[in-house]
Amino acid sequence: MRTSAFLYPWDVVGDPEAAGRVAALGVRQATLASAYHSTRALTPRHPRHRVMTARHAAVLYPPDGRWDGREPRPYPAGDWAPGDAFGEAAKTLADAGLEVHSWVVLAHNSRLGEEHPDTSVVNAYGDRYPWAPCIAQPATRAYLVDLAAEAAVRPGARGTELESLGWYGLAHLHAHDKIGGVGLGEAGQYLMSLCFCAVCREGYAARGLDADELAAAVRAALEPLWRGVSAAGEGGAGGGWAEIEQLLGEDRASATRAWRDDTARTLQEEAVAAVRAAAPDGFQVLLHADPVSYHCGANAGVDPAHILSVADGVVVPCTGGTGPLTPFAEQRRADAVLAANFTVVSGMGGSPATLERDARAAVERGATHLRLYHAGLASDGDLEAVRKALAAL
Contact call for residues 62 and 132 (beta carbons, < 8 A): no
| Whole-Å CA distances, 178 to 66, 171, 226 | 39, 12, 14
- Structure confidence at residue 173 (pLDDT): 76
In a domain, 258, yes or no: no
Each residue's pLDDT tens digit, 110-140: 999 999 999 999 999 999 999 999 999 999 9
Cα distance between residue 240 and residue 187, in whole Å: 6
The mean predicted confidence, pLDDT, of the chain is 95
- Cα–Cα distance, 164 to 288 (Å, whole number): 7
Domain interval for residue 296:
2-179+264-392
Contacts of residue 281, Cβ cutoff 8 Å, sequence gap at least 6: none
Select from 265, 272, 266 the least CA-distant residue to 286. 272
CA–CA separation, 120 vs 114, rounded Å?
9
Name the amino acid, one letter, at 53. T
Q: What is the CA radius of gyration of the chain?
A: 21
pLDDT for the residue numbered 237: 54
Domain presence at residue 33: yes
- Categorize the per-residue pLDDT at 377 as very low, low, confident or very high, splitting at 50, 70 and 90: very high
Virtual CA dihedral for 228, 232, 236, 241, nearest 10 degrees? -130
Q: Is residue 246 part of a domain?
A: no
What average pLDDT does the segment 153-178 reach?
Answer: 90
Q: Percent of the chain beyond pLDDT 90?
A: 92
How long a stretch of residues is the chain?
Answer: 393
Give how many domains the chain has, as a whole number: 1
CATH number at residue 60: 3.20.20.80
Beta carbons of 305 and 296 less than 8 angstroms apart: no
Give residue-wise pLDDT tens across range 330-362.
Answer: 999 999 999 999 999 999 999 999 999 999 999
In tens, the pLDDT along 217-265 reads 999 999 988 887 776 655 455 579 999 999 999 999 999 999 999 999 9
Q: Is 248 part of any domain? A: no
What's the confidence (pLDDT) of residue 180? 73
Does residue 221 lie in a domain region?
no
Residues 173/116, Cβ–Cβ less than 8 Å: no
Instruction: Tell me if 383 is assigned to some domain.
Output: yes
Contact of 188 with 231, CB cutoff 8 Å: yes
- Does a structural domain hold residue 223? no
Cβ contacts of residue 256 below 8 Å, gap of 6+?
194, 204, 207, 209, 214, 248
Strands 128-133 and 284-290: unpaired
Return the higher-pLDDT residue of 180 and 214: 214
Strand 157-163, strand 284-290: pairing: parallel
Query: CA 290 to CA 163: how far, in whole Å?
Result: 11
Task: Give the span between the Cα atoms of 17 and 44, in whole angstroms.
Answer: 13
For residue 332, count other CB atoms closer than 10 A to its CB.
9
pLDDT for residue 176: 63
Number of C-beta neighbours around residue 344 at 10 A: 28
Asked, for residue 255, whether it belongs to a domain, the answer is: no
**Is-above-0.85 flag for pTM?**
yes
Q: Which pLDDT belongs to residue 238? A: 58
